Structure 1
Amino acid sequence: MKLLHGKLGPQFDALLFDNDGTLVSSMESVHRCWTRWAREYGITDEDFAAVELHGRPAAEIIADLLPEDVRAGALARIEVLETEDVTGGAGGVVLLPGAKELLSALPAGRWAVVTSATRPLAEARLREVGIDFAEMVAADDITRGKPDPEPFLLAAARLGVDPARCAVFEDAPAGLAAGRAAGMTTVALTTTHPVAELDADVVVRDLSAVSVLVGADGVTIETDDRP
């Protein structure tokens, strides 16, 4: 089912947000850092272009490109490049529409960030756009990344809520697949992928089309994304 406007709830105890492509956009920074990294490791443009970067842990990307004996060093290198790119003021990380307003309407304990980035990198990106968060599940916390449900199930466990009473906000097919596999309601954003590639319960343009009502019996999600 794909709804562009309507109401869901109040069956939700927690809302779980992907970071890059959902709360922030760091595509400029990501492209800059990974292009430099690929050149340092002698990866051809053709091989690099064939690998999907968005929504995947860096360790999985690197495993697609390099032999096992150099992966640990390569992972440490891209972590340094990406974190320094954010903290060094190079730009390329921006707040996406509606993100801060929506999060400010949610009390602590009702939401978490669930990202494929490492914790230091995700924290640096969120600080760059002025988002404070109480709970995060990052690549450091899991053994299997999206589309496996582990990241979202861990977030639900940390918040002490039933996965069936969680809603996932994602922009990437892998993240939406992870949310579905976790038994959660999925809300897709068309910030990085076209509607045809997004399998979700609800599809909206971005978080500016989403509002919430928080009550004693749970959170109600309202979407309004009429053409």
Structure 2
Amino acid sequence: MTIHAQALLFDNDGTLVSSLDSVERCWTRWAAEYGVTDEYARVELHGRTAADIVADLLPAHLVPEAVARVEQLEVEDVPNGGVRLLPGTAALLDALPAERWAVVTSATRRLAEARLDAVGIRPKTLIAADDITRGKPDPQPYLLAARRLGVDPARCVVFEDAPAGLRAGHAAGMTTVALATTHPAHELDADLVVPDLSALSVLVTDHLMEISARR
């Protein structure tokens, strides 16, 4: 399958980098601090903003303080080696013009920049939880990224590992590529499903990017 696009929009955690160990450490500690360990085990975490997750677990008046606490824990954990590049990330991003791709993450800007900087990724365009009022699976984050890049959403391709993010990409009217890095392939509803970014090649021309699955 070959996909043509004018802009590529990448989720971060589970797509460009893996921070699963860090997330597990920090959220487990956070849940214990707030006395919601059992409830935390039943909540869908991946691909959603911390504010949405916390709102499922705590009364509204505690949410701002609790979100700030988990952000603090995760930022402080970055130097502990909890972030690593996933296969294919560096090669693919190095092949792209800076003005034709963006990172669209459910993390806060502070946390996203800490994780990206730790692995040497410095996107020209970054959409974070601070920039939106409705997180994935709502399409708002991806539509904002398309607007910032000046590209019709229909000419954008979303790269995601989480069902919530894929639903956001579909709702935005974008082509979706799923990476089976954190969920089994059969759980991922996308136009194309691959193991990770190393399974893809990209050809850049003046007007389009051609993305293909390697044979």
Q: Same fold (TM over 0.5)?
A: yes
The residue number in structure 2 matching 1:49 is 41
Q: Deviations over 1:156-197 (max 9, x none)?
A: 000000000000000000100100110100000000011111
Which one-letter code corresponds to 1:82 in the other structure? E
Q: Is there any run of 5+ residues in structure 2 with no aligned partner, and where?
A: none
The residue number in structure 2 matching 1:3 is none
Q: Distance in 2 between matches of 1:38 and 1:198?
A: 28
Which one-letter code corresponds to 2:28 in the other structure? T
Structure 2 SS opposite 1:109: helix
**1:7 and 2:2 matched:** yes
Q: Distance in 2 between matches of 1:209 and 1:96?
A: 12
Q: Deviations over 1:141-161 (max 9, x none)?
A: 000000110000000000000
Q: Is there any run of 5+ residues in structure 1 with no aligned partner, and where?
A: 1-5
Structure 1 SS opposite 2:9: strand
TM-score by length of 2: 0.98
Which one-letter code corresponds to 2:45 in the other structure? L
Structure 2 SS opposite 1:188: strand
| Displacement of 1:92 | 1.4
The residue number in structure 1 matching 2:12 is 19
Which one-letter code corresponds to 1:176 in the other structure? L
Q: Which runs of 4+ in 1 moved over 6 A?
A: none
Decide which of 27, 30, 33 is 1:34's aligned counterpart.
27
Tell me the C-alpha RMSD between the 2 structures: 0.9
Question: Superposition pairs for residues 60-139 of structure 1, below 5 Å?
Answer: 60-86=52-78, 89-139=79-129
TM-score by length of 1: 0.93
Structure 2 SS opposite 1:31: helix
Identity of aligned residues (%): 69
| Displacement of 1:46 | 2.2
Structure 1 SS opposite 2:124: coil
Decide which of 149, 152, 157 is 1:167's aligned counterpart.
157
Count of aligned positions: 215
Decide which of 150, 167, 187 is 2:140's aligned counterpart.
150
